[in-house]
Amino acid sequence: MSDIITYQNYIDSAFSGSDELIEVLNPANAELLARIPSAGAEQVERAIAAARKAQKGWAARPAIERAGYLRKIASKVRDNAERLAKIITREQGKVPGLALVEVNFTADYLDYMAEWARRLEGEVLTSDRANEHIFLLRKPLGVVAGILPWNFPFFLIARKMAPALLTGNTIVIKPSEETPINCFEFAKLVAETDLPKGVFNVVGGTGAKAGQALTSSAGVDLISFTGSVGTGSRIMAAAAPHITKLNLELGGKAPAIVLADADLELAVNAIKASRVINTGQVCNCAERVYVERKVAEQFIDKIASAMATTRYGDPSVEADLDMGPLINQAGLDKVAQMVKTAIGNGAQLVTGGAVADKGKGFHYQPTVLAGCKADMEIMRKEIFGPVLPIQIVDSLDEAIALANDSEYGLTSSIYTRNLSSALKASRELDFGETYINRENFEAMQGFHAGTRKSGIGGADGKHGLYEYTRTQVVYVQEQS
Ligand code: NAD
C-alpha cells in the first residue's frame, strides 16, 4: 500500500514523526486511508513548549498583523477547497456538497475573525477617587489547547485557532483520531505561509494519550474542547490540578416543537434536513420532536415519507446523495441499539429501523419512531444518527416543559405561525440557542453556547472571541 500517506506532527513549524501510528479508515467502506502519529507526553510537551516560546512575540505584534496571517491561511484554504472537501468526504463520510460548504465556511470564518483586529477593545472605567484613571486591558491567555471532534473536523480547526491567534494566543491542536487527515493537510497549508514558528502546532493521537497529556499539562492556559459530555467531564478532572481555564462545547439533544398552527411543509422539510445532514451527527440538529396532537398524524406521515426518500450510500462514489455513513462501527452499534431498545419499550417504528445493507461501511437507514415517551432513552440521550423520535403533546406548555427536562441545553427549535407562541417559547426554552421556523446552522457572528451538560462558555462572534482573553485592570493615580 505505497500510496497510503503517513502524516507527521507539526511542531514549531517542522514536521516530525512518531514511532507509534494510528490507522485512519474511510467510514463508507472501512478502507485504510492514511496513518497518523500517536503522540505521547514527550511530543505534546514539545508542542506546548514551542507554542509558549512563540507566544510573547506573537502577542506583541499589532492585531492587524496577526489578522493578516489568518487572511493568508483563508486564501490558501479557498485555493485548495475542492481537494480538501474530497478529503473530508473520504475520512468523515459527509456528502461532497456539505464538505465544500464546510471548507468555504472555514475560510470565511478565518476572514471574519480577522475583521476583529481593529475592534478589540479595552475599557476606561469611572473612578471613585479624585485624579485616578482606571483602564481595563484585554490580554491573551497564553497557550491554548484545541481538542477537536470528528463531525465538522475542518471547521473546528478555525473555530478554535482563529479567535486564539487573533487575540495573541498560540495554539496546539489535537484533531480527532477518526478525522485527522484534513487537519494535517491544513497544517501543510499553514507551513506554506510565513506564520511565525510555534504559533500553530498540530499533534496527532488518541484522547487517552495525546489528549490526556495536553489537558493535564501545566503549560496550557486554556483548554478549548468540542466533543462529548463524558470526555468533557474527564477533561475537567485533568484540568483541575492546574486550575486551567476551560471552554467546553459538548453534546446536545435538540428538541423541535411543532405546534398545530405551524407551516407543516416547512417544519417537515427543515426537521428532515436537520436529521439527515451529516447523517444526523451534528450537535445542534433536531434529536427529538414534540408535535401537537391535532397535527400529529399528518406530521408523522409527512416526515416518514420524507425520511424514506433519503438517498444514502458511499459519498465518494455515488452522486447526489443526501447522506453518507456513520463515523464508525461503535457509532453504528449505538444507533442500532438505541432504536432496538426504544421499540422494545413501546415506540412504533414508522420507517427505517435497521442497519443498511451497503457493504462494509457504517450505514443506517433513515428512521422515524412515533409514540415515544419522555422517559425513553431515545428521548433523553444523544442519538447522533439519522433517527427521529416523536412524542405527541397537548399544549405548548407541555412541549416546553418536556423540552427543558433534559441534561442537555444546547439548541432548540419551534414551528408556529403565532408570534406570541414563538416569543413565549424563546423566553421559556432553557437552551443556548432557539431557532424559530428553521433548524441549524448557527451564524459565525452569533454565540454558540450550551447550558447544563452541553458546556461551559461558547464560541463565535464577539463573545466567543473574548473567551480567548483575560482582563487586567490598571489603576493610575495622578501625581500632584
Ligand atoms: P469525543 O468526546 O469522543 O472526542 C472528542 C475529542 O476528544 C477527540 O479529539 C478525542 O481524541 C478527544 N479525547 C477523548 N478522550 C479524551 C481525554 N480523556 N482527554 C482529552 N481528550 C480526549 O467526541 P466525538 O465523538 O469526537 O464528537 C461527538 C460529540 O461532540 C457529540 O457529543 C457532539 O454533540 C459533540 N459536539 C459538540 C459541538 C458543540 O459545538 N457543542 C460541536 C460538535 C460536536
Tens of pLDDT, residues 226-280: 999 999 999 999 999 999 999 999 999 999 999 999 999 999 999 999 999 999 9
pLDDT of 480 reads 80
Residue intervals in the chain for CATH 3.40.309.10: 254-443
Is the CB of 283 within 6 Å of ligand 1?
A: yes
Of 358 and 216, which is predicted with more confidence?
216
Is the CB of 234 within 6 Å of ligand 1?
A: yes
Ligand 1 nearest atom to the CA of residue 149, by list position: 26
Known catalytic membership, residue 82: no
CATH among 2.60.40.1890, 3.40.605.10, 3.40.640.10, 3.40.50.12780 for 5-250+454-474 = 3.40.605.10
pLDDT of 143 reads 98
Whole-angstrom distance, CA of residue 73 vs CA of residue 293: 51
Is the CB of 147 within 6 Å of ligand 1?
A: yes
427 pLDDT band, cuts 50/70/90, is very high
Is the CB of 226 within 6 Å of ligand 1?
A: yes
What mean pLDDT do residues 301-328 have? 96
Is the CB of 251 within 6 Å of ligand 1?
A: yes
pLDDT of 249 reads 98
Span from the CA of 232 to the centroid of ligand 1 (angstroms)? 7
Residue intervals in the chain for CATH 3.40.605.10: 5-250+454-474
What mean pLDDT do residues 110-129 have? 97
Is the CB of 426 within 6 Å of ligand 1?
A: no
Span from the CA of 356 to the centroid of ligand 1 (angstroms)? 26
pLDDT of 17 reads 85
Span from the CA of 204 to the centroid of ligand 1 (angstroms)? 15
Span from the CA of 61 to the centroid of ligand 1 (angstroms)? 33
pLDDT of 19 reads 84
Percentage of residues in the chain having pLDDT higher than 90: 97
Q: Give the DSSP letter of residue 168.
A: T
- 132-155 pLDDT, tens per residue? 999 999 999 999 999 999 999 999
441 pLDDT band, cuts 50/70/90, is confident
Ligand 1: residue whose CA is nearest its atom 9 = 176
CA 429, 435, 438, 441 torsion-angle sign: negative
Known catalytic membership, residue 249: yes
Whether residue 171 contacts residue 143, with contact meaning beta carbons closer than 8 Å, is answered with yes
Whole-angstrom distance, CA of residue 477 vs CA of residue 172: 40
- 80-99 pLDDT, tens per residue? 999 999 999 999 999 999 99
Residue 357, amino acid? D
pLDDT of residue 360 exceeding 70, the answer is yes
Query: For residue 174, what is its C-alpha cell?
Result: 489535537
Q: With respect to CATH, is domain 254-443 assigned 3.40.309.10? A: yes
Q: Which helix (H) or strand (E) holds 46?
A: helix 41-60
Is the CB of 231 within 6 Å of ligand 1?
A: yes
pLDDT of residue 1 exceeding 60, the answer is no
Q: Where are the beta strands (DSSP E) in 175-221?
A: 200-202
> Catalytic pick from 283, 292, 382, 433?
283
Q: Give the DSSP letter of residue 210.
A: I
In the block, which residue shows the cell 473574548? 466
Q: Give the DSSP letter of residue 323.
A: B
- Return the ∠ at Cα 370 (arms to 367 and 374), rounded to 5°: 115
Pocket residue to mutate for ligand 1, from 105, 176, 220, 277, most atoms within 8 A of Cβ: 176
Span from the CA of 290 to the centroid of ligand 1 (angstroms)? 28
**Model-wide pTM > 0.85:** yes
Q: Where are the alpha helices (DSSP H) in 192-263?
A: 212-215, 229-239
> What b/e sequence results for 252-284 when a residue is b if at least 16 CB atoms lie within 10 Å of its CB, and e otherwise?
bbbbbbbbbebebeebbebbbbbbbbbbbbbbb
Ligand 1 nearest atom to the CA of residue 331, by list position: 25
Ligand 1: residue whose CA is nearest its atom 41 = 249
Whole-angstrom distance, CA of residue 273 vs CA of residue 440: 10
- 174-190 pLDDT, tens per residue? 999 999 999 999 999 99
> What residues contact residue 30 under an 8 Å CB cut-off, 6+ apart?
360, 361, 362
pLDDT of 440 reads 85
> Catalytic pick from 91, 102, 185, 249?
249
What mean pLDDT do residues 434-446 have? 95
> What residues contact residue 84 under an 8 Å CB cut-off, 6+ apart?
77, 99, 103, 154, 182, 185, 186
What mean pLDDT do residues 313-342 have? 96
Distance of CA 191 to the CA centre of its chain: 25
Is the CB of 409 within 6 Å of ligand 1?
A: no
- Return the ∠ at Cα 280 (arms to 277 and 284), rounded to 5°: 90
pLDDT of 357 reads 87
pLDDT of residue 2 exceeding 80, the answer is no
Is the CB of 151 within 6 Å of ligand 1?
A: yes
Ligand 1 nearest atom to the CA of residue 147, by list position: 9
